Structure formats: structure tokens, C-alpha cells
Amino acid sequence: MKTEIISIGDELLIGQTINTNASWMGQELAKIGIKNNRTTTISDTEEEIKIALTRAEEYADLILITGGLGPTKDDITKKVLCDYFETELVLNEEVLLDIQEYFKLRNKPFLESNNQQAMLPEKCKVLRNKMGTASGMWFERNGKVFVSMPGVPYEMKHLMETGVFPKVRKKFGLQELAHRTILTHGIGESFLAEIILDWENRLRAANLEMAYLPSPGLVKLRVTSNQGDFKLVNTFCDELYSIIPEYIFGEGTITMQETLANLLLERNATLSLAESCTGGYASHLLTKIPGSSSFYEGSIVCYSYDIKEKELGVPKSTLLDKGAVSKEVVELLSEAIKNKYNTDYSIAISGIAGPSGGTEDKPVGTVWISARSNQQVVSRRFNFGNNRERNISQSALAGFNLLRQLILSEQSNP
Amino acid sequence: MKTEIISIGDELLIGQTINTNASWMGQELAKIGIKNNRTTTISDTEEEIKIALTRAEEYADLILITGGLGPTKDDITKKVLCDYFETELVLNEEVLLDIQEYFKLRNKPFLESNNQQAMLPEKCKVLRNKMGTASGMWFERNGKVFVSMPGVPYEMKHLMETGVFPKVRKKFGLQELAHRTILTHGIGESFLAEIILDWENRLRAANLEMAYLPSPGLVKLRVTSNQGDFKLVNTFCDELYSIIPEYIFGEGTITMQETLANLLLERNATLSLAESCTGGYASHLLTKIPGSSSFYEGSIVCYSYDIKEKELGVPKSTLLDKGAVSKEVVELLSEAIKNKYNTDYSIAISGIAGPSGGTEDKPVGTVWISARSNQQVVSRRFNFGNNRERNISQSALAGFNLLRQLILSEQSNP
């Protein structure tokens, strides 16, 4: 079975919009065991769309089309689809009611052009769109499936999830896959691969699949059974917790800061931060989480020596003797912020983000992090390399992870 | 003249990597007056690459290929190119020296597989790659140009900028375009279009082109003369400063925070922040700038009432009477942080980021911002709508802009 994505829109070709739709679809297709074999991005002209449809029909069994629909662009794509499938636009009463309701709910005036959106090709099966006014259209010819969807990402995703995936699975007789995604932090892909080599070999011998999905600051391990054998997937994934317990921080799509937030919420505990090199980024990651005010009190971004000294009481002599990037200073910072903001936990981060400021002893990328509870403090030195933005983001994640591990260690050794 | 981009790589098809190369190329091509007409993304198999090359040759005059090169993947793409252009791989001595030098400089071992990267098709013109080990390859046939480049973004960009663009301009006899990009903040595209309608009409009558390029929090206006008439472009762009002075914050690729940073650096002045709803994000944007410690002292992220009260001295009664999101509170916050951190300027931001916390008077998206100097304070209420992440990012930019305008007003009215 072959799949092709056709993305329609000049804004994609000239780089005004990045084609995240195609990558999302590629990812989601992979999860149900379908590989996207080709993506073609074209202008919304009759000629280009016809060429793309003809070639896709020769090549693929499943053709997913996004874009070229909507109140102003509707005409060309729908007209081409009608020509291509030798059918005509007819009024779909149900869709018309949907659209009228959509405008009513949003207190928006219903324009004549919106009526057009209820005109749909007679031969297609209409996929109702509850997130917008452009319907999805499902065509079949000679066992091949074509689906046309609007290009607005959340409308496309809604149609894919509610309409397309279930129908595709049925149409192509796909078994449900069994997946589990384990999230690791603090170890690179190649080192990880070495440690879990034996496990991975056994996993493959048991007919499971495994993919390393690296993204900034973490490596995801996705384990898949194409036979839908959830039990087997679980056996292997559970085993991983005894092989690399120190690197696993979660599963699925959770972020490091969300796992920490959950630990704090479960304990009804509060957190404060003292950030130097991360300059507010760690605080930003926490406050991006809706409801973070339940566990997060605030922080001091102590970018200068002065603020470290005056606001957080680090003695000038310590700053000069040990340097701002030192175990001593981050431990004083984590203590001061915890007391000052009266929280259950604190994290302090101080490092040399670069590009300048490095020394032989402490090159750019050197970062000291201290995490503190009422019982204990743990501090660690890291080196994240030369890139300033990477240093900032890795430091924040490492700080969250250090506190996460501290909290878990207290749970197991009360 | 038609252009096609061919992106090679399974990681793009399955969505593990987003195809930002194609969008960057589309953007940069537009700047030299070339429209990207089609982007095709394929697997790195012989069959797929051959089909794509054949179709592209039928369709386009300029074919830009990325990916499928590199020490492990080299073979297929280069082999297909040799077959396609009926040529053979030969050792390129200069490239071999380049590559050996590349490894020496980085203290990396030179492996046998790296030798392969100096084997290049005899018929191509080699584009030297100073950023990596995979060369660019320029082929010509029947007036059509094919360029193959590695998929690593900074290597591809380096090759495009140093090798491809100058050669393409010469080959296709393109005149150098004259461009200027004006950056605006605080006004939506459609409102902006209305205000500058007359100017835009005159601009088009004068044979200039203009594009609205919206991105989060700003709208860029790119003015282009296809005849390379810099003088005419400058006349129109300069005029814009008298039509919408309050919305223009810079030109080219500078960010809002960089324009503010430059103003502070010019004045040898310092800044502190009190952030509530932005939760550290404004501080993060400033500290992303290398060297920000020269003007930025630090900030207090005062997420809770407690911190606003205890650390920044906002009376509990004011918090209760006026609410944390009020003119009174942000003015107290900007005053307190400025005094506490002893800076020349300060910004305080307090708002309802959502999704919850809104009231009828102050719906989600309501944000109060106060900017302060030694002479004055300006405070303004904004509403950025329902989306939490958007509220956070828009609030930070609006805060920087408010202070930027305050500083400029002091310059003109000393």
C-alpha cells in the first residue's frame, strides 16, 4: 500500500507557511502502520491540481489532499475534483445547517459566500467538519481513496482523527497497532542504543518494532506491534524501566516540565526558581502549563552579580572566589530562593551560556544546577556545549529532571 | 521560468523532521524574484529519485535537490545522478583536501567512508562546502539547471548563499532586486492595509511590489523593485515612516527585543522586569540575546499574590480592590522592581493568560503593562484574545514596544 500527501497552497511554496500539516500527517499515519511515500506541494491552480491528482492516482492507494478549500479559495479545488471524478456540486442540506449553526454560535454574520461551502461534489462521501466551514470529501475510484481536507491545521487534524483514520483503517483492513512511547532524558541516542542493545535485539526477535525519535533534550523510544499485541509491547516497555530507570521520565507526549508539575500537584507542593543563565526560560516552561499557579510561586532571574548578592544574599567573596558558576553559588541560590519565597522545593541554575564568558576551567556550556527540598539538596555540574540557545533549553530541562529525581528518591527513601 | 524543489529523506515523509529547508529556499528564492512552483518530497531510493528527476526536468528550469547525501547515504543519490546525467564518479583532489582539513580542524578521526565524499560526478560543477563534508553538485542539461545539496540546514544554506544564488542569477540573467523590509507591531494586516492603501496604490503604480508577511506579533512589509531601483524603494519606504510611525519598530530581520536592547546599549542603560502572566518569557527573550548581561539586570517572576505583596510591596488591599490585572498594580510593580534592582528602566506585565481566570470585566487575554523610566511611567491595557501561548508572547512583545516608545519619546522631548 502506498500513500501520497498533496499539499495545496502558494504560501507553502514561497515559505510563508511551513508545511507542518504534512509532517503531522506523516507522523500520525506511521502510528497506524501506514508509511507516507511521497509529499507533493503545489499551487492552487487547476492545471497543477489535475497533474498532481493524475500522478498520485497512478502511484498511490491513499491520497490525502490538504488546502485549497475555504470561503475564498473553494472554487478551484472543488471544481477540479468534480471534473476529475466526473461529478457535480450539489447542495448538502446537513452541511448547510452545520455551517449556519457554526456562524450563529460565534455571533458572526452569515455571508452569501458561506453558502457555497455547502455545495459539495455529488459523488463524494462528505466528512463533517465541526471545527470550521469547509467539509472533508472522501472519493473512491478503482479501490483507491482520495480525501480532500481544508488546510487549517486544527480543522485538518479534527477531520483526520474523527473521519479519515477510522475509515482508512476499515477500508484497507488495517489491524490496530499497539504502541507505547517511552521518553528518556540525559543520554544521547547512540549511547542509549548501546545500553539497550540486548533488549532491542530480543524485541526485534519477538517481532516488535522500535524507533528512536530524538528531539531537543530528549530521545523517545517508540515500541510497536504491528499485530496489535499490547501485552507483548507492555512486557518489553516495562522491562525497560529496570534497564534504564535513571533516564526515563515519562511516556507518550508529556513534557519534562509537565511530569514535574504533576509530582508537585500530587504533593500539593510549591516551587520557586533562581535562574541565572536560563534567564527566565525555566520559569516560562512552567508557566506555559495552564494552571501552573497552583504549584509555582515565582522566581528571581538573577542575571547580574548584584542581584545574586543583594536579592539572594550570595556573599560577594563567594562570587569572586568560586565564580557565579559554582556548586557553592547554586547551593546558596537554591537555599535563598526557597526561604525567600517560602516554597517546598527550589531549583537554582547558573552557567555560561556563551558565546563568550568561558574559561579553561569552565568552558562555554558549563552549568551548575542545584535542586532542593526541605530534607536535602542535590547539585550537579553539566556541560552542554557551544550553542547558546541549546545551553539555555538543556539547562532548564536538566534542572527539572534533577528536582524530579530528588522528589522520587524521597518517595522511595522516606 | 519554473522552479522545483526536490527534498529527499524518509525523516521528512514520516514527519520526524519538518521540511524547513523547502520553506527557507522558497523564501530566499522569492527574494531574488524566483517563484518556487512545486516541492516534491521523496524517499532516498533509486526509483523515487529517478522519477522525481525525470518529472522535474519536464516541468522546471531550475531544480534544487536537498538531502540524500552524507557519509552514510551518499551512494544512492550520487549514483542516481551519475546514471541520470550519464557520467561517473571521479576523485576530486581539492575536495579531498578540504575534507581532510575539516576533520583535522575538529580533531576527528578520518574514516574510510569519508574518502567517498570526495568522489564526485565528473560532469558536474562542484560547489565547495566549507560547513561540512558533502559537496554541492551543479548539473546543466538543455539549458536546465539541477543542483544537489546536503540536507543539513546550515550546510544547504551556506551552499545556496555562496554558490547557488550567484550562479542562478547569472545563468538566468536575473537582475539584482532591490528590497527593503519594514517591520511593524501592534496592528493587524487588514487594518494596516487600510491605512496604507493610498501609499500602496502609488507604490504599485510606480512599478514596485509589496508583500505583507505576517508572523506572530508582527507584520513585515517587503517592498521590492524588480529593476533593482534602490532609490525608488527607499523613497517609498522612507515615506512610510511619516504614515505609520507608531507601528514601525525596525527593518530587516531584527526582533523587537533586539531593537529595545540596542536602545538600552546606546544609552548605557539598564532594565529590570516584573513579570506575572508572561511568567519569565519576556526575560527569556532578552537573555537569548548574546551579551544581554550588559543591559539586563534581572527580574522577578511574581506569579502569586504573595510574591507581588512580599517581594514587590503591592498592598494586599490594592490586589483585592483593583485585582492583580490593573493599572494600579502594574504601576506599583514597575516602580518596585526599578527601585529594588536599581535600573534605569523597568517593565511590569500582569494579565489573564487563560484558559481560566477571566471575568466579564476582564476576559481572558486582558493584560496591563507598565513601562517606566526615571522621568515617567506609561501604562496600557491590551486584549490579546483566548489563546494562552499567544497571550504570553504578545504580552512580552507589547511590553518591549511600550518601553521602546517611551525611550524614543524622551529622546524627542527631552
Is pLDDT of B163 > 90?
yes
Is pLDDT of B368 > 90?
yes
- Residue range A223-274, pLDDT digits in tens: 999 888 999 999 999 999 999 999 999 999 899 999 999 999 999 999 999 9
Nearest to A281 among B280, B311, B340 (CB): B280
B36 touches chain A (CB under 8 A): yes
B19 touches chain A (CB under 8 A): yes
Q: Which of A4, A270, A287, A289 to mutate to test the interface with B (most CBs of B within 10 A)?
A: A287
Q: Provide mean pLDDT across the span B311-333.
A: 97
Work out the minimum CA distance from A323 to partner chain B, whole angstroms. 16
CA distance B278 to B394: 9
**Which chain A residues are within 8 Å of B342, Cβ to Cβ?**
306
A256-412 and A3-171 share a CATH fold: no
Are residues A177 and A169 in contact, defined by beta-carbon separation less than 8 angstroms? no
List A residues 204-223 in contact with B (Cβ-Cβ < 8 A).
213
Nearest CA in chain A to B310: A341
Q: Which helix (H) or strand (E) holds A410?
A: helix A388-412
Residue B301: its pLDDT value, please?
Answer: 97
Are residues B387 and B217 in contact, defined by beta-carbon separation less than 8 angstroms? no
What's the DSSP call for residue B161?
I
- Residue range A377-402, pLDDT digits in tens: 999 999 988 889 989 999 999 999 99
Q: Bridge-partner residues for B372, per DSSP?
A: B346, B377
Q: Bridge-partner residues for A6, per DSSP?
A: A40, A65
Is B213 in contact with A388 (Cβ distance < 8 A)?
A: no
B299 touches chain A (CB under 8 A): yes
Residue B378: its pLDDT value, please?
Answer: 98
Is B27 in contact with A14 (Cβ distance < 8 A)?
A: yes
Residue A113: its pLDDT value, please?
Answer: 73
Task: Say how many C-beta atoms besides its own lie within 10 A of residue A300's C-beta.
Answer: 29
Q: pLDDT-based confidence at B156, cuts 50/70/90?
A: very high
Q: Which of A270, A272, A284, A389 to mutate to test the interface with B (most CBs of B within 10 A)?
A: A284
Would you state the cell numbers that stand for residue A390, as one nine-digit string? Answer: 541549546
Beta strands per DSSP E along B21-170? 38-42, 62-66, 89-91, 119-121, 125-127, 136-141, 144-149
B295 touches chain A (CB under 8 A): no
Q: Provide mean pLDDT across the span A187-201.
A: 90
CA distance A35 to A174: 13
**Which chain A residues are within 8 Å of B277, Cβ to Cβ?**
287
Residue A359: its pLDDT value, please?
Answer: 92
Q: Which of A2, A4, A11, A19 to mutate to test the interface with B (most CBs of B within 10 A)?
A: A19
Nearest to A19 among B19, B38, B290 (CB): B19
- Read off the pTM: 0.84
B340 touches chain A (CB under 8 A): yes
Is pLDDT of B205 > 90?
yes
Residue A256: its pLDDT value, please?
Answer: 97
The contacts of residue A88 (CB under 8 Å, 6+ apart) are: A82, A121, A122
List B residues 99-128 in contact with A (Cβ-Cβ < 8 A).
none
Residue B266: its pLDDT value, please?
Answer: 96
**Which chain B residues are within 8 Å of A304, Cβ to Cβ?**
293, 296-298
Nearest CA in chain A to B272: A301
CATH fold of the domain at B3-171: Molybdenum Cofactor Biosythetic Enzyme; Chain A (3.40.980)
Residue A18: its pLDDT value, please?
Answer: 92
Kindly list the domain boundaries of chain B, sorted by start residue. 3-171, 178-251, 256-412
SS3 B160: helix
CA distance B397 to B394: 5
Sheet with strand B209-215: strands edge to edge: B209-215, B218-225, B178-185, B248-251
- Residue range A144-176, pLDDT digits in tens: 999 999 998 989 999 999 999 999 999 998 887
Nearest to A15 among B14, B24, B282 (CB): B24
A312 touches chain B (CB under 8 A): no
Q: Provide mean pLDDT across the span B278-294.
A: 96
Are residues B107 and B64 in contact, defined by beta-carbon separation less than 8 angstroms? no
What's the DSSP call for residue A412?
H
Residue B411: its pLDDT value, please?
Answer: 75
Q: Which residue has the cell 527585543?
A: B257
Q: Which stretches of B273-387 are DSSP H helices?
A: 281-287, 305-310, 316-322, 327-341
Would you state the cell numbers that stand for residue A337, as one nine-digit string? Answer: 530562593
Kindly write down the DSSP assignment for every residue of B191-235, as one continuous string.
HHHHHTHHHHHHHHHTT-EEEEEEETTEEEEEEEETT--HHHHHH
A300 touches chain B (CB under 8 A): yes
CA distance B237 to B369: 30
CA distance A378 to A38: 49
Is A38 in contact with B35 (Cβ distance < 8 A)?
A: no
Q: Which helix (H) or strand (E) holds B5?
A: strand B3-8
B12 touches chain A (CB under 8 A): yes
Q: Provide mean pLDDT across the span B284-313.
A: 95
Is pLDDT of B346 > 60?
yes
Work out the minimum CA distance from B91 to partner chain A, whole angstroms. 31
Per the prediction, chain B carries an average pLDDT of: 93
Kindly write down the DSSP assignment for every residue of B252-280, as one continuous string.
TT--HHHHHHHHHHHTT--EEEEESTTTT
B37 touches chain A (CB under 8 A): yes
CB pairs under 8 A, 24+ apart, for B72-77?
Answer: B72/B113, B73/B44, B74/B116, B74/B117, B74/B134, B75/B116, B76/B44, B76/B45, B76/B46, B76/B49, B77/B8, B77/B44, B77/B49, B77/B148
Residue A103: its pLDDT value, please?
Answer: 83
Work out the minimum CA distance from B408 to partner chain A, whole angstroms. 26
- Residue range B168-186, pLDDT digits in tens: 999 998 887 888 999 999 8
Nearest CA in chain B to A357: B291
Q: pLDDT-based confidence at B125, cuts 50/70/90?
A: very high
CA distance A237 to A259: 18
Of A191, A81, A99, A207, which is closest to residue A147 (Cα–Cα)?
A81
Residue A71: its pLDDT value, please?
Answer: 66
Is pLDDT of A328 > 80?
yes
Its ipTM equals: 0.83
Is pLDDT of A414 > 80?
no
SS3 B66: strand
How many residue pairs from chains A and B have C-beta atoms closer than 8 A?
225
Is A301 in contact with B287 (Cβ distance < 8 A)?
A: yes
Phi/psi at A137 (5° precision): -130, 125
**Which chain B residues are within 8 Å of A48, Cβ to Cβ?**
37-38
Residue A335: its pLDDT value, please?
Answer: 98
**Which chain A residues are within 8 Å of B340, Cβ to Cβ?**
311
Residue B109: its pLDDT value, please?
Answer: 78
Q: Provide mean pLDDT across the span B32-57.
A: 95
List B residues 156-175 in contact with A (Cβ-Cβ < 8 A).
none
Is B36 in contact with A43 (Cβ distance < 8 A)?
A: no
SS3 A356: coil
Nearest CA in chain B to A23: B15
Work out the minimum CA distance from A194 to partner chain B, whole angstroms. 19
Q: pLDDT-based confidence at A286, cuts 50/70/90?
A: very high
Work out the minimum CA distance from A154 to partner chain B, whole angstroms. 14
Are residues A102 and A110 in contact, defined by beta-carbon separation less than 8 angstroms? no
CA distance A104 to A96: 12
CA distance A47 to A43: 9
CA distance B253 to B340: 34
Q: What percent of chain B clears pLDDT 70, i.e. is strictly above it? A: 98
CA distance B232 to B180: 11
Work out the minimum CA distance from B308 to partner chain A, whole angstroms. 9
Of A26, A33, A31, A27, which is closest to residue A5 (Cα–Cα)?
A26
Residue B191: its pLDDT value, please?
Answer: 86
Phi/psi at B352 (5° precision): -110, 100
Q: Please tell me which of A185-194, B26-35, B176-185, B342-351 the model is most confident about, judged by mean pLDDT.
A: B342-351
CA R_g for chain A: 27
Q: Bridge-partner residues for B381, per DSSP?
A: B368
Is pLDDT of B325 > 90?
yes
- Residue range A19-78, pLDDT digits in tens: 999 999 999 998 888 999 999 999 989 999 999 999 999 999 999 999 988 766 556 899
**Which chain B residues are within 8 Å of A12, Cβ to Cβ?**
23, 26, 39
The contacts of residue B113 (CB under 8 Å, 6+ apart) are: B71, B72
B256-412: CATH, from 3.10.105.10, 3.90.950.20, 2.60.40.10, 3.80.30.20: 3.90.950.20
Is B300 in contact with A301 (Cβ distance < 8 A)?
A: yes
Q: What is the CATH number of domain B178-251?
A: 3.30.70.2860
Are residues B15 and A27 in contact, defined by beta-carbon separation less than 8 angstroms? yes
Nearest to B26 among A15, A213, A292 (CB): A15
Is B38 in contact with A38 (Cβ distance < 8 A)?
A: no
SS3 A246: coil
